[in-house]
Chains A and B, each alone.
Chain A
Amino acid sequence: MIRVVLGTLISHWRRRPLQLVFLLIGLSLATALWSGVQAINAEARAAYADAAGLLGRDRFDRLVGRNAAPINASRFAELRRAGWAVSPVIEGYHTPTGLSLVGIDPLTMPKGAAPIGAGKGPGMAEVLAPAGLLIVNPETAARFNNADLPKLFAMDDLPPMTAIGDIGLVQRLLGRPGTISHLVLDPDAPAGLVPLATVVPELDRVAPAGDGGLARLTDSFHLNLTAFGALAFVVGLFIAHSVIGLVFEQRRSTFRTLRALGVPMTQMVILLLAELLVLALVAGLAGVALGYLVAAALLPDVAGSLRGLYGADVPGSLTLRPGWVLAALALTFGGTLAAAGLALWQAATMPVLAPALPRAWARASSKRLAWQGALGALLLALAAVIALVGSGLPAAFTLLAALLVGAALVLPLLVGGLVQRLGRGRGGPVRQWFWADTAQQVPGLSLALMALLLALASNVGVGTMVASFRQTFTGWLDQRLASELYLTTRSEAEANTILAWVTPRVDAVLPIRSVPATLNGLPGEVYGIADHATYRDNWPLLDAVPDVWDRVAQGEAALVNEQLARRAGLALGDPVALPGGDLPVGGIYSDYGNPQPQALLGLLLFDSRFPDATHLRYGLRIAPDKAAALAQEITARHALPDGGVIAQADIKGYSLDVFERTFAVTDALNVLTLGVAAVALFASLMTLAELRLPQLAPLWALGLTRRRLAGIEFARILVLAMLVLVLAIPLGLALAWALVARLNVAAFGWQLPLALFPADWLWLALTALPAAGLAALWPALRLARMPPAALLRMFANERG
């Protein structure tokens, strides 16, 4: 019996393959965009975990120089003599290749911390050989196969762009012989040793560093991606819900007949569920494949963004993870059940004697729409309350969700009301029918229209935010990067030599000094800046006391970035806790793209508080037309590596590139979501086309040609799409405000001014309306070419 019932249920799809196609498209698109984003997140998190696990960073205490001062290698010997089991590590940036080099002493590293021996790593002898060896991950090995580097050994589970080698080799490569960055402390130290504070009083013991807070720093970025994925998932489920609802409606008579012929209700529902799960499996597998392609296409941009914004190294290629595939399939099953829940419930509770004729499922009752509208209004009110009083990331996301879902729920009522208003006034019978019928179609198309609204509003919202950001960011870079050249030397001796030569050739030399420090209890950085017109004229201050630059120069006040001011709740005049003592806040400056708190001190005060800070970086002021030539001359004369002298234009280009990469991802997801919404509209129109026939056939019988009816149907969709677009613009602007003024502030710690870009809306209209027209074209063409016999059947008693 199971085979017979299942065959009967499946026969529906054979008769209406298009519905099957749309259901599979809806589910697989929903899965694809969501799982694509999750694949990117999983890849990034795996990279953070690799970084955290590197050399036991997540397990062993470390000894570090106070204020990040380098450690003399002799301290290692002193500690070993005192009985402390420590191992030296040097870390640095290899300018010619851009690799992060990590030098270790394989003989003294705690057991299991170094990727050497133990079967998969290279042997100890190879690492310690005079020619040396660098251990990298396979991707990095392939990239630097022919580079001027020691022999490379490829090994999995290492972060990208990181190379590990013997400490002597890495010290040579970095040009820092005799220095180490930190010491790893073996936890199995014997008792009764001379305390560390006595042996090395200038070193601080710090707990396992983990991933350096990368996961926390990048959480906001991943959360943004996840929010987009969730939006696309919901839009995809709209398609599935729309198709499943219609399919169940069309099979109501079949359900009733099967039950009348003796099929138990529970068995029928179980078989319906099995049918849906099989379809979900097929769609899920297709979605996983599509999601993999989406993720693979977007990952290079995401990796670039993460590297630029947070210094997080994430590989540019994707690994297929079984956990991700299973999670995506589970999500498809969950989504299918969510999309089909109502329809399944109705089928399960339908009385066997219920009317078999279509009960116009698609034409939802006005009562239901009223309830839906009331719920939407409630959510919009909630959004308003959160906008006024809420703070923090959860509140920001709740605001976004309440705003979008509330507006979507209210939409059918709003569009219905607008259509009725437009239909008032005089006009011929066809015009009168057009508006009345359009109002009647709104509930049936409501899911597709809601999907369209969400896609358009997110397009307007994210587009406005990105354009505002681009405008502000470009201006801000001009202010912030005022020096024409930026010099980075390898040692202070080299710096002195170069400065002696370059000082007479430039207008000004501006030292740039910084140390990592704790600011008001938050990890961040302190910078020292010279008192110079470059800063006084250009620095992007958001707020400042009147004589701010004099006070900073005299060491009487500090400047703090917006991130620190917001996180620590600092206002002008408030004391900010810095190493060496509090200082009042003299000014607050914008610091876009920087996730960390930062403070600026006058150079004299900085040098007195941080005497061990390195003096390696300088800004050089020179006439812009002479900058390139000077950069070339410095590099050639002093044999500086690439990146030793960077022109302002290059840094701006790099910063803008990071910016563009970051938003390339959101742009792509935006376009994909709009595409899914267009498919949702198309799917709804195609599936509703059959239900429309009984409504259109009388018009045809009264003398309207099929062609004219098709034209009216086409125009109807364009009118509805236009109305949705008009409503999407204010919603999109509200969304942009929520993103800029609430989400951005909560996630990144800074706010930017919101600007309006009406030309972008026009462009969106020029994209969205043809998309809606395209969705409406095929059903309209089918109607125009429909044989009269098909329309005549609508007048028969029984329509099957």
Chain B
Amino acid sequence: MLLTIRGLTKTYPTREGPLAVLRGIDLDLDQGESLALVGESGSGKSTLLHLAAGLDVANAGTILLDGAAIGEMSESQRAAVRRDRIGLIFQQFNLIPSLNAGANIAMQARLAGRNSPDWNAHLARAMGLDGLLDRYPEELSGGQQQRVAIARALAARPALVLADEPTGNLDEANADAVLTLMLDLVATAGAGLLLVTHSQRQAARLNRQMRLVMGQSQA
């Protein structure tokens, strides 16, 4: 199993007292499999994704990536896992503004020490970014920026892709096109995909769905 999550609980302190965002989530994801996380705003989808990426630490429960418990790792070990095993895609793209599109795409692959210009070029072509690689993020449209972000996540050939509403800022047509590309490339790379989305239509295109309501999963 690529990703195994058991009894995951996350609570945030607030003025009104502790707020439980996730309450005992269980989840399994196999290599090459895609899973859509759906639910209302505040249901805990993004938090689940952040915990799976090791960006935050759970209060209780376990997250195993290829059998390794992420919650028991130090911060630098979690950073190494993200660098080597995970591809992250954010809703706000999070491109590095001082690097051009080409450098942004190669970024994580270079960090992981497995940069392949040919694979990067293939990704750029597949994403329709040919001719835009010298442009800086501020010179790209929202759809173009998101495609750069997806290419960056896949350039390092990660085992697991975690995507947080990657098409949330795009119109419907662009969103469909980007998702199609992403699914194709994830399948080509043989990676697992955990995707957060509000769109039922997009969720339906993935292998499985999981609905979160008030921090709990509903079948």
CB neighbours (8 Å) of A799 from chain B are: 138
Contact between chains at B113 and A8 (CB < 8 Å): no
Contact pick for B55, options A11, A250, A260, A263, CB 8 Å: A260
Chain B nearest CB, measured from A703 CB (Å): 26
Chain B nearest CB, measured from A148 CB (Å): 70
Q: Does A797 contact B (CB under 8 A)?
A: yes
CB neighbours (8 Å) of A264 from chain B are: 75-76, 79-80
**Complex CA–CA separation, A259 to B56 (angstroms):** 12
CB neighbours (8 Å) of B81 from chain A are: 262
Contact between chains at A11 and B142 (CB < 8 Å): no
Q: Does B88 contact A (CB under 8 A)?
A: yes
Which of B33-41, B94-102, B125-133 interfaces with chain A? B94-102
Contact pick for B97, options A254, A265, A266, CB 8 Å: A254
Contact between chains at A259 and B97 (CB < 8 Å): no
CB neighbours (8 Å) of B94 from chain A are: 253, 256-257, 260, 356
**Complex CA–CA separation, A799 to B136 (angstroms):** 12
CB neighbours (8 Å) of B103 from chain A are: 11
Contact between chains at B111 and A262 (CB < 8 Å): yes
CB neighbours (8 Å) of B145 from chain A are: 798
**Complex CA–CA separation, A546 to B214 (angstroms):** 97
Contact between chains at B82 and A254 (CB < 8 Å): no
CB neighbours (8 Å) of B93 from chain A are: 798
Contact between chains at A4 and B99 (CB < 8 Å): no
Q: Does B44 contact A (CB under 8 A)?
A: no
Q: Does B160 contact A (CB under 8 A)?
A: no
Contact between chains at A257 and B79 (CB < 8 Å): no
Q: Does B165 contact A (CB under 8 A)?
A: no
Q: Mark A1-38, 1 if CB is under 8 A from B, else 0.
A: 10011001001101110000000000000000000000
Q: Does A353 contact B (CB under 8 A)?
A: yes
CB neighbours (8 Å) of B75 from chain A are: 264-265
**Complex CA–CA separation, A224 to B103 (angstroms):** 53
Q: Does A261 contact B (CB under 8 A)?
A: yes
Chain B nearest CB, measured from A717 CB (Å): 27
**Complex CA–CA separation, A262 to B83 (angstroms):** 4
Q: Does B137 contact A (CB under 8 A)?
A: yes
Contact between chains at A5 and B142 (CB < 8 Å): no
- A8-B96 contact, Cβ under 8 Å, with A15-B136, A265-B75, A266-B76: yes
Q: Does A352 contact B (CB under 8 A)?
A: yes
CB contact list, B47-81 vs A, under 8 A: 50, 53, 55-56, 75-76, 79-81
Q: Mark A776-800, 1 if CB is under 8 A from B, else 0.
A: 0000000000000000010011111
Contact between chains at B111 and A15 (CB < 8 Å): no
Q: Mark B136-176, 1 if CB is under 8 A from A, else 0.
A: 11100010010000000000000000000000010000000
Most buried by A among B75, B79, B94, B138: B79
Chain A nearest CB, measured from B86 CB (Å): 8
Q: Which residue of chain B has the shortest Cβ distance to A267 in the bound complex? A: B76
**Complex CA–CA separation, A759 to B169 (angstroms):** 62
Interface size on B, residues (CB 8 A): 36
**Complex CA–CA separation, A352 to B76 (angstroms):** 12
CB contact list, B103-137 vs A, under 8 A: 103, 107-108, 110-113, 136-137
Q: Which residue of chain B has the shortest Cβ distance to A16 in the bound complex? A: B98
**Complex CA–CA separation, A304 to B49 (angstroms):** 73
- A11-B92 contact, Cβ under 8 Å, with A4-B107, A5-B111: no
CB neighbours (8 Å) of A12 from chain B are: 98
Contact between chains at A798 and B92 (CB < 8 Å): yes
Contact between chains at B88 and A260 (CB < 8 Å): yes
**Complex CA–CA separation, A274 to B75 (angstroms):** 22
Q: Which residue of chain B has the shortest Cβ distance to A13 in the bound complex? A: B98
Contact between chains at B96 and A11 (CB < 8 Å): yes
Contact between chains at A263 and B138 (CB < 8 Å): no
Contact between chains at A352 and B55 (CB < 8 Å): yes
Most buried by A among B103, B110, B145: B110
Contact pick for A11, options B80, B84, B99, CB 8 Å: B99
- A257-B95 contact, Cβ under 8 Å, with A4-B111, A15-B136, A262-B111: yes
**Complex CA–CA separation, A356 to B93 (angstroms):** 11
- A797-B142 contact, Cβ under 8 Å, with A260-B53, A265-B75, A353-B56: yes
CB neighbours (8 Å) of A253 from chain B are: 94, 96-97
Contact between chains at A800 and B111 (CB < 8 Å): no
CB neighbours (8 Å) of B79 from chain A are: 259, 262-265
- A15-B97 contact, Cβ under 8 Å, with A5-B111, A263-B111: yes
- Could you write out 18 A-B pairs with CB less than 8 Å apart? A4-B111, A5-B111, A8-B96, A11-B96, A15-B136, A254-B96, A256-B94, A257-B95, A260-B94, A261-B88, A262-B111, A264-B75, A265-B75, A265-B79, A356-B92, A797-B169, A800-B95, A800-B138
| Given pairs A250-B97, A253-B94, A353-B55, 4 additional interface contacts (CB within 8 A) | A261-B82, A262-B108, A263-B83, A798-B92
Give 7 closest A-B pairs by Cβ, nearest first.
A262-B83, A11-B98, A262-B82, A800-B97, A264-B76, A12-B98, A800-B138
